[in-house]
Amino acid sequence: MKKIIIFLAIMMGIYLISSSLMAYSLTDENSAFVFDETEATSWSVDGVNQLYQQMFFYRLGDIGEENSITWSNISLYDVDGDGQTEGVSAYYGGTRFSLLMSALLQGGDDNSHQSWLNTTVTIFNFANEDLHLFLYSDYDLGGTPSDDIASVNLTAQNVYQVDYDAHFAVLTPLTGCNAYQIAPYDVLYGSLTDTNPTTLNNSGGPLSGDATFALEWDFPSGNVYSVNFLQSVQPAPEPATLLLLGSGLIGIACISRKIKN
Question: Given the rule CB under 5 A, which residues bind Ca ion?
Answer: 66, 78, 80, 82, 84, 86, 138, 140-142, 144-145, 147-148, 163, 191, 194, 196, 198, 210
CB of 40 to Ca ion, least distance (A): 13
CB of 145 to Ca ion, least distance (A): 5
Cβ proximity to Ca ion, 122 vs 143, nearer residue: 143
Q: Which is nearer to Ca ion, 115 or 191 (CB)?
A: 191
Cα distances from 242 to residues 109, 208, 247, in angstroms, run 32, 20, 9
User: Nearer to Ca ion by C-beta: 132 or 174?
Assistant: 132
Q: In the complex with Ca ion, which residue's Cβ is closer, 85 or 122?
A: 85
Q: Is the CB of 124 or the CB of 205 nearer to Ca ion?
A: 205
Main-chain dihedrals φ then ψ at residue 68, nearest 5 degrees: -85, 150
Smallest distance, Ca ion to C-beta of residue 222, A: 25
User: Nearest 5°: phi and psi at 189?
Assistant: -60, -40
Provide the minimum distance between the beta carbon of 3 and Ca ion in the complex, in angstroms, as a whole number.
14
Q: Given the complex with Ca ion, which of 108 and 145 has the nearer CB atom? A: 145
Find the shortest distance in angstroms from Cβ 160 to Ca ion.
14
Q: How far is the CB of 8 from Ca ion (least distance, A)?
A: 17
